[in-house]
Structure 1
Amino acid sequence: MPMTSFEPRKGMTEQEIEKTISLILAEASLAEKVGMMSGKGFFAQYAESGRRWGGHAYRAGGGIERLGVPALYFTDGPRGVSRGNSTCFPCSIARGASFDVALERRIGEVMGIEARAQGANLSGAVCINLLRHPAWGRAQETYGEDSHHLGEMGAALGLGVQAHNVIGTLKHFALNSMENARFKVDVQLDERTLHEIYLPHFKRGVDAGIATVMSAYNKVNGEYVGQDRYLLTDVLRTEWGFDGFVHSDWIRGVYAVYGAAAGLDIENPEPAVFGENLIAAVEAGHVEPTVIDRACRRILTVIYRFASAEDPLPGYDMELVASDAHTRLALESAEKSAVLLENDGVLPFKRGSIARLAVLGRLAAIENTGDTGSSMVRSPYVVTALEGLRRHLGEDAILTADESDIDHAAAVAKDADAVVVVVGCTALEEGEYVPGGLTFGADQKEALEKEGKTAADLPSKGGDREHLSLPAEQVALIEAAASAGKPVVVVIVAGSAVLVEEWRDKASAILQTFYSGMEGGTALARLLFGEANPSGRMPLTVAKSIEDYPFFDRDADAIEYGYWHGYAKFEQEGLVARYPFGFGLSYTRFAYRSLRARVSGDTIHASVGVTNDGDVSGDEVVQLYVGYPGTIKPRAAKALKAFNRVTLAPGETKIVDLAVPLGSLAYRDVATHGWKMEAGEYRIIVARSSADPAPLSAGITL
């Protein structure tokens, strides 16, 4: 124990925290303060674990041992804690398809518990980058294409994580919507596009109380985000009132010491730019000492607020990690995330009519929970699609084949009563891009030398998708299955959109499960046989042609992000989606009636009656879009502003309430750099998707 110790204690008041921090800053040396502004020990730990991301909880800033000041220890996400053998949930975009904010909050709480149990107090689980184009390799790590939806889901996850005193971080701030060029690309856009399309979800997270922000690698309008004063200070701190700290993404997150003055508080994982360079800059008068104190005060305030707060649980033991309760939640999430895209009546299967089921496709038999980058979770087990169906029907009822022998697959399909074909992607086709020549420090280089290798020997992995269609061999597999004349159900495993025009007429049903986590195979069997009712809704627009999406160049040095993407672009240009945002089928039917809308104070309150007109229980996702008066250009014809998921028994009716803050309807006024309301009549639209042909609508004049 140091002679002077400022260790946090449970129950400290805000005043006590402020006083303690002032004493720390008065006592600490410049070197100790700058030391808190960087991670420490990552390269050695990474080499020690055999270059296995998540092998440790990484020290990510904070910490002065001499004074008893605790450090930050980081673990990644977002489909579970990347440490040890944690619960692997469906990927974020799958959970986005659930449109279930309450479920996402519970998932966040599990991640907080499992992070605490494994020595971490800072979580990188909340990824809310907007999905501008479905070719983005890390689409699976975010929730979808709509800003409101992103903000609500991300805030829920972050608050769940923080409920157990694990510090949440919003990432990657901002404009990180492509992967291969993320270290170099300059994203260029105007003020309205930035503030109306690409930032509102981050503000929602800040307003909810998520305590930290991770900066992105890319440039915005010519400057790297990690040293961009406009984003990190003018917007985040001054305009939004954010009082937490900002830390960089891992490796290459900042390039100049002025990043500290611009608003970057911590460089992770180690001081490649800060550290001695920052000390020298202060001593030379290039960086004011107040910049260092300000950053340290932000870091310490967050650390001490969380460290002194009472814990909801009496202890955080390893027995909680991947416990039965947590894996049951993973199963619930997988069931609620799957989207039924097509169904000619073949689903749900009747157990008595399926004596033999053909399960085709290489992907049916492999553990395929998503990319193998920073979001990888090594769960204690994974139930594959094949294993889940074998458990459900029995070993002898399942016939198998894959795309390596199309003739054999066709023969197997003929011998079955029905066919399930599993197609899509793996981490080889999409995910976090790690260039083969990228090494993490001298320790990794030394480890490679011991193996007789250099950085050039490291293979590249992940990245943006080159195609949105299925590979030819998977299409051939679907066609072979269909040639047998039996019902064919196609299951799509992928992190975003898969174009279906080439083969959809061959399928009796199409179910997109995304990457469905450790219990995905169990969920699939229950969904196919009606023990769970599909209730997911597409969190992105699936086009008929790749040409309908915005321009995308995965190797770009610079790219312009325009105002239009997603369902707003489709409506603006008169395009017809194959599966619109918010679309999804069910084994039951829902009817809407009696829409009411009124303004009270600063909020629009709407209600609608929703009835289950079918024979089985089901969940409906009620979506409220707002149509603008149309005097301000450009502006979307309508935008999602509220949603609510409701469970209904057969014949049951519930009144669903939805609320829209008036402030969310404002547009960015470039003359004043503030927000204004457009005067006129707004349409309150309650619908089953962004392209519902028969929505309910009411008018409100503002």
Structure 2
Amino acid sequence: MIGTMRATGTEYDEAVRAVRAAEIDADTAADNLIERMTDAEVLWLLDGDSPRRLLPLIPFLLGRRPFVAGANRRLGIPGIRFSDGARGVVIGASTSFPVTMARAATWDPTLEEQVGIAIGLETRARGANYSASVCVNLLRHPAWGRAQECYGEDPVLTGIMGSAITRGLRLNVMACVKHFALNSMENERFEVDVSVDEHALHEVYLPHFKAVIDAGADSVMTAYNRVRGEYMDLNGPLVTGVLRDEWGFAGFVTSDWVFGTHDAIESLRAGMDVEMPLRMLRARSLPSALRSGAVSRETVLQSAHRILRTTLQHAATREVTSPSHDVIASTSHRALARKVAEESIVLLKNDPVDGAALLPLAPDTRRIAVIGRLSERANLGDHGSSRVRPPSTVSPLQGLREALPDVLIETASGSSAAEAAAVAAAADTAIVVVGLDQHDEGESVVTGGVDVGVLGGAFTSGPFRELLIRLAHLASRFVRGGDRTSLELRPTDVELIRAVAAANPRTIVVLIGGSAILTETWGASVPAIMYAWYGGMEAGRALARVMNGDVGPSGRLPFVVPTDVEHLPPFDSAAKTVVYDDRWGQRMLDADGHVAAFPFGFGLSYTTFSYQLVDHRFDDRGGSAEVLVANTGDRAGSTVVQVYAADLSLDRPVAQLLGFQKVDLSPGSSTLVHVALDAGPTLERDPVTHRWSRRAGTWAILAAQHSPRSWEGAHPLTVSTSGGMLPANE
């Protein structure tokens, strides 16, 4: 019991000390605290602490302080102290890292773990202990407005990168993974109902969530959408049946904010522990429900226990010394942001002009034209809940000017294609910076279809409810962000590229954005294309260093870029129902026989590499591959060794990524690279027994530079016996 501990500090402090000293475990400590709490104090744990009148101020307050749930001054419980932060801490002026999709393009989990450490330190320095920085929703279609917040289209890549940031965060804060589950469209996120079969659900859309849970995630945030007719906060089969019973998750589950809780009592029974971030449905309903027996005390205490146990365990195991404010946007964190941006840049095309590749920029370059509306802007990404406000930024133009002080750099905004062409014609090289910004894609902050009943009894039915819903739908048509309306560039950008390329054959196009941008209508007119993403506060310096050749391009696409949007699944941003299956992205192109413009995993370097699969070991628990990699060019460079498998008994084999490893090599050198392999893509789950076994087929394995179209030279996937079928929670 806590009463037997040393009488220093608060009850909570003593519980943390005892758990850290291994005198008691976190479960016992949580139960001891609950014994000292009144019913009102226990119920206080189950929703946010702020009153509902703060609802209109959330966008303003989110950037100024943590949102707290379950704090108890009498016992010293600090509560869950929330900060968002997919690309950095949203509170105050913090380091703005490249968006999640850009970091996925690094294919470097070691680097992503460092980003997690940095975000965790800055989050804690801002007074928070809980970060919702782990977004692992699968990119089903690149038109999804929040694509930039995820790690791309592949479950294995997503699981590895999401696990990496989770490990980094947890050194300082509790890590929350979101949005569980099947949240891959924005405009109708409050209303859409996702239908999915057992195969696609468990073998496509959930493996990366389980990977992050296995990596130690402390919390899960439920999605707004419905799955199989049930809102996710009420979806017991997934929140309790899969997440807790099948996977063994012991942490706590929160709602998505405000409109993510649909019933105070039923959400609690389904396994959703905390209504975030305000006192709304549960504050109104749970006290009387507990007194009357409409909700059992056991159900309430079960959630209270999960919340306190997780919070105590984290407090007892995190770094003891709290970071100072000096860590926020520190020199080392800015350097990390630049390094991540450098490694994220994907070189899509680099054809020779006058016998030499256009990139890196030639040493004798004396005059450059930098053109486009995005060239002078620090374009950091969407302006929704993940928005970070860094203390300083570097635009592409500023970065180039710093890196090339002896080069004359002339500019044109791009508003006039004729003016831009004239500036380009006078330059040795023209650089056109085009793409997307927060107006084209991002979180739709005002969205039609919200359940306004959470605002109070007057809005559960009747004229007030109908009026507010209509106003929300109307307002959603005029706000920025949301799902994309096209995968093409703006027509004015295409016109600009064509005009500049016609005036100067040495034209480089730099694309800014969060997911796939089609290049078919203009790509053939330019010799060089780079994808620079929303690259964070140091994006301009990173871009200049890669273009200048100080750093070689090493980014690889975390999604496929098709030649035609019709080669992807249909995407209706206004859909109220949608079917998710196992046909999307590169896998859909493979199955249908379409050639990608740029395949999944693609990216060029300033040098060349060769790959040879030497050996592999594999069973239903995973394995490893040994790949001999050689730098066959005359420059140092970095590459990503990618290992794929496919069932060659199919008429059109579908490539499945099993593992990858980034490696640096000096010119002419070679090394044997060890690649860990994930067995998941070769397994299937029995919907009745929930056990996993090997999928039938003639499986082959291949080491490649990107998702392969040809399987010539592939090796049979040799599977050793390891004891038969696997339980679902192993």
Query: Aligned equivalents of 2:512 and 2:328: distance in 1?
Result: 26
User: The residue matched to 2:62 in structure 1 has which SS?
Assistant: coil
Change over 3 Å in CA distance of 1:66–1:131 after alignment to 2: same
Q: Give CA deviations for 1:444-500 in whole Å, capped at 9, x if unaligned.
A: xxxxxxxxxx98889522100001101111111101111213300000001000010
Change over 3 Å in CA distance of 1:342–1:675 after alignment to 2: same
- Please say if 1:34 is aligned against 2:53: no
- Please say if 1:340 is aligned against 2:340: no
Q: Is the 8 A contact 1:413 1:486 kept in 2?
A: no
User: The residue matched to 1:157 in structure 2 has which SS?
Assistant: helix
Change over 3 Å in CA distance of 1:299–1:484 after alignment to 2: same
Q: Is the 8 A contact 1:430 1:465 kept in 2?
A: yes
Q: Is the 8 A contact 1:686 1:695 kept in 2?
A: no
Query: Aligned equivalents of 1:84 and 1:390: distance in 2?
Result: 29
Instruction: Give the residue type in structure 2 aligned to 1:89.
Output: F
Query: Aligned equivalents of 2:243 and 2:689: distance in 1?
Result: 18
Q: Higher mean Cα deviation, 457-466 or 404-413?
A: 457-466
Query: Aligned equivalents of 1:260 and 1:507: distance in 2?
Result: 57
Q: 1:617 aligns with which of 607, 632, 636?
A: 636
- Please say if 1:360 is aligned against 2:371: yes
Query: Aligned equivalents of 2:605 and 2:635: distance in 1?
Result: 10
Change over 3 Å in CA distance of 1:419–1:287 after alignment to 2: same
Q: 2:87 aligns with which of 35, 54, 79?
A: 79
Q: Is the 8 A contact 1:621 1:645 kept in 2?
A: yes
Q: How many matched pairs? A: 686
Q: TM-score under structure 1 normalisation?
A: 0.93
The residue that corresponds to 1:114 in the other structure is: 122
Q: 1:654 aligns with which of 667, 671, 680?
A: 671
- Offset at residue 676 of structure 1 (A): 2.2
Q: Please list, as runs of the form range in 1=range in 2, the aligned pairs for 1:636-675 lying within 5 A after superposition.
A: 637-662=654-679, 665-675=682-692
Instruction: Give the residue type in structure 2 aligned to 1:53.
Output: L
Q: Is the 8 A contact 1:417 1:486 kept in 2?
A: no
User: The residue matched to 1:559 in structure 2 has which SS?
Assistant: strand
Query: Aligned equivalents of 2:296 and 2:696: distance in 1?
Result: 46
The residue that corresponds to 1:540 in the other structure is: 559
Query: Aligned equivalents of 1:441 and 1:161: distance in 2?
Result: 34
Q: 1:293 aligns with which of 297, 301, 326?
A: 301
Query: Aligned equivalents of 1:111 and 1:42: distance in 2?
Result: 28
- Please say if 1:168 is aligned against 2:175: yes
Identity rate, percent: 40
Query: Aligned equivalents of 1:425 and 1:577: distance in 2?
Result: 22
Q: Give CA deviations for 1:417-452 in whole Å, capped at 9, x if unaligned.
A: 11000010000010001127889979xxxxxxxxxx
Q: 2:11 aligns with which of 5, 10, 25?
A: 5
Change over 3 Å in CA distance of 1:153–1:50 after alignment to 2: closer
Query: Aligned equivalents of 1:124 and 1:209: distance in 2?
Result: 14
- Offset at residue 351 of structure 1 (A): 5.0
The residue that corresponds to 2:188 in the other structure is: 181
The residue that corresponds to 1:475 in the other structure is: 494
Instruction: Give the residue type in structure 2 aligned to 1:421.
Output: V
The residue that corresponds to 1:151 in the other structure is: 159
Q: Is the 8 A contact 2:181 2:222 kept in 1?
A: yes
User: The residue matched to 2:659 in structure 1 has which SS?
Assistant: strand
The residue that corresponds to 1:688 in the other structure is: 705
User: The residue matched to 2:657 in structure 1 has which SS?
Assistant: strand
The residue that corresponds to 2:338 in the other structure is: 331
- Offset at residue 34 of structure 1 (A): 1.3
- Offset at residue 636 of structure 1 (A): 7.0
Query: Aligned equivalents of 1:121 and 1:660: distance in 2?
Result: 34
The residue that corresponds to 1:55 in the other structure is: 64
- Offset at residue 41 of structure 1 (A): 1.7
Q: Higher mean Cα deviation, 403-412 or 151-160?
A: 403-412
Q: Is the 8 A contact 2:483 2:573 kept in 1?
A: yes
Change over 3 Å in CA distance of 1:557–1:594 after alignment to 2: closer
Q: Is the 8 A contact 1:42 1:58 kept in 2?
A: no
- Please say if 1:95 is aligned against 2:95: no
The residue that corresponds to 2:607 in the other structure is: 588
Query: Aligned equivalents of 2:688 and 2:134: distance in 1?
Result: 33
Q: Is the 8 A contact 1:613 1:651 kept in 2?
A: yes
Query: Aligned equivalents of 2:709 and 2:605: distance in 1?
Result: 15
User: The residue matched to 1:175 in structure 2 has which SS?
Assistant: coil
Q: Is the 8 A contact 1:630 1:637 kept in 2?
A: no
Query: Aligned equivalents of 2:267 and 2:127: distance in 1?
Result: 29
User: The residue matched to 2:70 in structure 1 has which SS?
Assistant: strand
Structure 1 unaligned spans of 5+: 443-453
- Please say if 1:311 is aligned against 2:319: yes
User: The residue matched to 1:647 in structure 2 has which SS?
Assistant: strand
- Offset at residue 626 of structure 1 (A): 1.8
- Please say if 1:236 is aligned against 2:236: no
The residue that corresponds to 2:462 in the other structure is: none
- Offset at residue 49 of structure 1 (A): 8.2
The residue that corresponds to 2:722 in the other structure is: none
Change over 3 Å in CA distance of 1:179–1:380 after alignment to 2: same
Instruction: Give the residue type in structure 2 aligned to 1:522.
Output: R
Change over 3 Å in CA distance of 1:591–1:564 after alignment to 2: same
The residue that corresponds to 1:199 in the other structure is: 206
Instruction: Give the residue type in structure 1 aligned to 2:441.
Output: E
Change over 3 Å in CA distance of 1:695–1:509 after alignment to 2: farther
- Offset at residue 47 of structure 1 (A): 6.0
- Please say if 1:18 is aligned against 2:27: yes
Instruction: Give the residue type in structure 2 aligned to 1:404.
Output: S
The residue that corresponds to 1:371 in the other structure is: 382
Change over 3 Å in CA distance of 1:540–1:249 after alignment to 2: same
- Offset at residue 623 of structure 1 (A): 0.7
Instruction: Give the residue type in structure 2 aligned to 1:269.
Output: P
Query: Aligned equivalents of 2:493 and 2:534: distance in 1?
Result: 17
User: The residue matched to 1:295 in structure 2 has which SS?
Assistant: helix
User: The residue matched to 2:706 in structure 1 has which SS?
Assistant: coil
User: The residue matched to 2:65 in structure 1 has which SS?
Assistant: coil
Query: Aligned equivalents of 2:475 and 2:618: distance in 1?
Result: 63
Q: Higher mean Cα deviation, 296-305 or 664-673?
A: 664-673
Alpha-carbon RMSD across the aligned residues, in angstroms, is 2.4
Q: Higher mean Cα deviation, 36-45 or 417-426?
A: 36-45
Instruction: Give the residue type in structure 2 aligned to 1:514.
Output: W
Instruction: Give the residue type in structure 1 aligned to 2:348.
Output: L
Instruction: Give the residue type in structure 1 aligned to 2:182.
Output: L
Query: Aligned equivalents of 1:664 and 1:519: distance in 2?
Result: 36
- Offset at residue 286 of structure 1 (A): 2.1
Q: Is the 8 A contact 1:117 1:316 kept in 2?
A: yes
Q: 2:218 aligns with which of 190, 211, 216?
A: 211
